Structure 1
């Protein structure tokens, strides 16, 4: 038996480095994934979101109402983006998800304040994602003592230890702040992404590795026919997964399912088709199953971190939110949560459905173009 040789070890090491540099996709993934994780966790992830979009309904024009509005503007938690003219308009803004908070200053606020008759300010929070509203709701506790500190003097000064008015908080869509109501519906998008994208990419790449794709290319089958035939079984798999997740979400976690079934069905169909087309596109780029899996993970990681699944979407900086809007899971999560928790109709979620439709069309077109090039 020959003795251990550093020369032979060095020769094998050099060979391995050369092999690694030839596999450029794997090499790029090894460098890109750590950098992406560092940037996302270091800059984009924020568990205490601020500057949340807020709508106001001010039903009286008084110095006290203006002071409360000024205090809200000075807060780092609320960005006043809309001025509603009626309770119905305010309710519509919250239900469509355009604002995170809706604040109402009633018409009898000044009269009740002057009489010490329990003046109240109503704050409605979209609590479909409890982590997005928790810190801001906690910050509201200081509003009664700070907002009117310079206005209530003399006879209007409140008794020591008594707040001049009360902030009444209504947590809508998830009043008990149950995390499962947000996480479990969101899991539908993550699970469909992980399984459909990766399964499709691996399936087609496996055929290329085994040589069966060459036999398929020798047949008169058109590219669109190959794509439709390959993806059709996985559409059924995606629908079965969706049904299982929704049934278990109701039975095990008691997730409320208010309605919005037509919009949810359209969203599921578009997301499944888009995810499968994306997996097919990856398979036309990857040369091995390992590369296909790496590309799938490179897509799934930002889908988890930037979509609002694990961390509040509005807590991320503007550039991260812009990237998150590109991720299809972001729009799919809004469709699922909006349908199940808010009962949104198709018209309420048309922007998200349009984004999913655009994603499915663009990715399908790219996959077809790439597959035609491989045929040539």
Structure 2
């Protein structure tokens, strides 16, 4: 029979499936990548029992819990847990602290002839472990920051080498005002948890880790201060791509591929995308200035019309080129002049990729 565990390192390194029995409101606040939520108590039941616990103590709370656990409720809970256990017999269950709810779930399962171990300390202990590991790995891993102007293909480059961290992939956002993807962004807690697990896995072998140069925020996800500090002090590799090539890459990624995000919308995908582009442009209106914004907004309207009527995305290239030249490149150049980072190598996208493979011993995927 398997026993309860407090070996958090093993849990996360081995991608162990986790049965999260906390209430949905707790799970939505923050969880772990391979956790599935099949709660012992729903949000209202949790609130009622918590109130009883504070007013009358643990035993009164337990008694209320059993009162709320009708045969129908218990049958539904057990059915969901059994399906999870059948699918993931090597997993573990957990509640918030590895206390009352975990023990109650184990008791119910044992009555059905199932012994399923729990995580000692529960969510709180695992979360504390990941936060501590995040601090440790940010200070100990040898990062190489891949930098370059917007549209240089930095993320695509990182995804081709083995020892890398895709911050935008974890955040499910491309980083700019136009960076929304077809996936909802994770909560800040979920972002930190996944990042910590990725760094923990990378720490199992020595060697540099490539990471993309990012600002403090990737959409709504904030980089942990320790990681920001590590990236600020890390050496850099510069990807230098011509303006035209960068504009074409952005049009392909944001326009041609971006249409797929709206395939299920009520409106035509091109119309929905066009409306989103106008909305995103408006977010940087003040920074562009009134006249420049008006010119770009009119050009964007024309490009949207061309896409809707003729399925032609080439009309966006002048708009993107102007945005890069007059806004994004200037901001990037200003930050680079203020910094004093060590530059290990600079070259085209292909040259940087080869350099990373040869000089940093980063295996190609």
- TM normalised by structure 2 equals 0.23
More helix by share: 1
User: Larger Cα Rg: Structure 1 or Structure 2?
Assistant: 1
